Amino acid sequence: MSSVNPGALPQTESKAKPRNEWPLWEIFIRGQHGMSHRHVGSLHAPDAEMAIKNARDVYTRRNEGVSIWVVEARHIAATAPSQKGPIFEPSESKVYRHPTFFDIPDEVGHM
Amino acid sequence: MYAQMVKSTGQGVKTREEMSPEEAHFQDRVDADEKIEARDWMPEGYRKTLIRQIGQHAHSEIVGQLPEGNWITRAPTLDRKMILLAKVQDEAGHGLYLYCAAETLGVSRDDLTEQLLSGRMKYSSIFNYPTLTWADIGAVGWLVDGAAIMNQVPLQRTSYGPYSRAMIRICKEESFHQRQGYDIMMKMAQGTEAQKRMAQDALNRFWYPSLMMFGPSDAESVHSAQSMAWKIKIDTNDGLRQKFVDQTVPQAEYLGLTIPDETLKWNEDKGGYDFAEPDWTEFFDVLKGNGPCNHDRLKARQDAWTDGQWVRDGLLAHARKKAARKVAAE
């Protein structure tokens, strides 16, 4: 669903030999008034063309979108949960990156 | 509802002292209502339970298309036919969302499908009952989807992120289904004598199977206790069943139809209805494969899979040929 899952995890319930399966595609849709494409889910399809057709049928049934991107899941790299700290924490101590950090006197007017 | 044959650990819920450091950390995150994501560490029992439950939930959406699909060509008006088609399409989509959620746990969709076709995985018992009249399509939407929604709304808060997000998406679309069913029931219950008889008959046949959808009382089950400790399951089976009855009885009264339960009675003390339990022998019998339609349902899925093999292979071969041509041209 709405969690990109690149890189197959180890098979758990079966030790079956790899089968001729359709690859997994991640689907991104830009909504009617959306500024950017958002990840909405995934699906299996033999190729990009079919992935787009199926994404249209599954993810835009109720006027959800005006543009579809499909990306084969194996092309996506993601951050690891264990790296959450080192990757994202540094920005927490940098309040000066926000425009609201500076106090401009009222008499200066709108800035 | 979809947790038949879940064997999370086989033991009771571990105490803090019995947990490994990873397990304790995991339990802390669950207790703090943090969502667990695909690449986070999780107990093997948690992963297995979710694969089974989400997989069986997905199978139920897919097999659930069959009893309703049975009436697409015979829907009484063009309007009803279009609506039913849209509903069955939605269900295919819901199956897809759920398979995707299950796949984040490291199992493939084809894998899950094969387990369904070989009988190693289950689907909801309700879909082993036949749809004999058009009114059944109303009863299925009203009662069966009503019971499913009752189960799915709390699951929006389930601890596994991908499952919870699939549920949020499904619940948004699902209310359409229940209304569609109730609308058919209203039309028939307020129609001719014959239509009203059909509506009552459909209610008579689907009432107890709908109550069974919530599963047997889970006070006894160690697996339920574990699922609840991990917040995979939010409510008890009995709790949800009670809520369903309390919601549905007034809806039946509005239709002027009778719930087929002579013991049904409002209980002031508990603020809910007392009602008769379904026949659990029948339930387990249906799960074992001996319900009225088990054989037909599975055969329909198996045939679709087997007969469609050459189409799947053909599309894949075509995709590979196209990709190779593209590489050659570069």
- Contact flag A1-B97 (C-beta cutoff 8 Å): yes
**pLDDT of B219:** 76
Nearest by CB to B111, which of A1, A16, A78?
A16
Q: How many CB atoms lie within 10 A of CB A25?
A: 24
Q: What is the mean pLDDT of chain A?
A: 82
The closest alpha carbon to B131, from B321, B297, B270, belongs to: B297
**Amino acid identity for residue B205 in this structure:** R
The closest alpha carbon to B301, from B49, B58, B52, belongs to: B58
- DSSP states of B10-21: SS-PPPGGGS-H
- Contact flag B108-A8 (C-beta cutoff 8 Å): yes
| Residues A38, A44, A49, A52, Cα dihedral to 10° | -30
Packing angle, helices B109-117 and B78-103, rounded to 10? 110
d(CA B51, CA B2): 11
Q: How many CB pairs under 8 A join A and B?
A: 100
The tokens for A63 are: 């006027």
Nearest by CB to B51, which of A12, A20, A80?
A12
d(CA A70, CA A25): 6
Region of residue B278 (phi > 0: left; psi between -120 and 50: alpha; otherwise: beta) = beta
pTM (predicted TM-score): 0.89
CA of B5 vs chain A CAs: smallest distance (Å): 14
Residues of A with CB under 8 A from a CB of B: 1-3, 5, 8-14, 16, 19-22, 24, 41-44, 46-47, 50, 57-58, 61-62, 78, 80-81
Residue of B nearest to A21 (CA): B110
Write out residues in chain B with pLDDT < 70, as ranges: 8-10
d(CA B166, CA A111): 44
**Amino acid identity for residue B256 in this structure:** G
| Residues A5, A9, A11, A16, Cα dihedral to 10° | 80
The tokens for A4 are: 């990109």
SS3 A25: strand
> Count of residues for chain A?
111
**pLDDT of A15:** 47
pLDDT tens for chain A, 111 residues long, are 444 444 344 334 444 455 688 999 999 999 988 899 999 999 999 999 999 999 999 999 888 888 999 999 999 998 887 788 888 888 888 888 887 888 889 999 888
Q: What is the DSSP letter of B276?
A: P
Sign of the alpha-carbon torsion through B88, B89, B94, B100: positive
**Amino acid identity for residue B217 in this structure:** S
